[in-house]
Amino acid sequence: MALKPDTSIMASLAVAAMVYGVHAAFTPNMADMQAVPAGNTDMDKAERKATWASAAVVATVSLLAKDPTIFVIGSAVTIGMSLFSRHAIWSEPAALMSPYAPGAAQATSANDLATGPIPVGATSPYEMFAGQNNEFIQ
């Protein structure tokens, strides 16, 4: 016997809030998950535990209430939170990306072997307010 429609929606929203709370308690926030290198095993384990705990909450409440709406909305929120977390965990942060263009990673001279290639966008040395013969312009 299913719940009344208005009660069913309110119970579904409560279960969705519980799923969000489980994910918030088990995993770090999205900014922290995106800041670490891709594939961090600790965060991956935390995300899987949060997903399993959320699935258990959704299944328990929907079986106790005998309402399919709770199961459908709770499952959708569980899957959504899992996908968002996995995307954050497995995305490479911009800070770890190479500053070199694809072809610039090769050494162009013997000196580059010791110091590395010149990054894309690098400029030549510049002295501010320098004139001819290194005299300041007045």
> How far apart are the C-alpha atoms of 69 and 9, rounded to whole Å?
7
Q: What is the mean pLDDT of residues 112-118?
A: 54
Mean pLDDT of the residues in the chain = 79
- Pick from 95, 81, 75: nearest CA to 20: 81
Q: Which residues have CB under 8 Å from 18's CB, separation 6+?
A: 54, 57, 61
What angle do helix axes 41-65 and 68-90 make, rounded to 10 degrees? 170
Q: Given a cut of 90, is residue 12 above it in pLDDT?
A: yes
What is the domain partition of the chain in residue ranges? 5-96
Helical segments of the chain, H only: 5-26, 30-35, 41-65, 68-90, 110-115
| One-letter identity of residue 124 | S
Q: What is the pTM of this model?
A: 0.65
Instruction: Give me the pLDDT at residue 18, please.
Output: 96
18-43 pLDDT per residue, tens: 999 999 999 998 888 888 888 888 99
| One-letter identity of residue 39 | G
> How far apart are the C-alpha atoms of 42 and 23, rounded to whole Å?
15
- Pick from 63, 60, 64, 65: nearest CA to 7: 65
Categorize the per-residue pLDDT at 92 as very low, low, confident or very high, splitting at 50, 70 and 90. Answer: confident
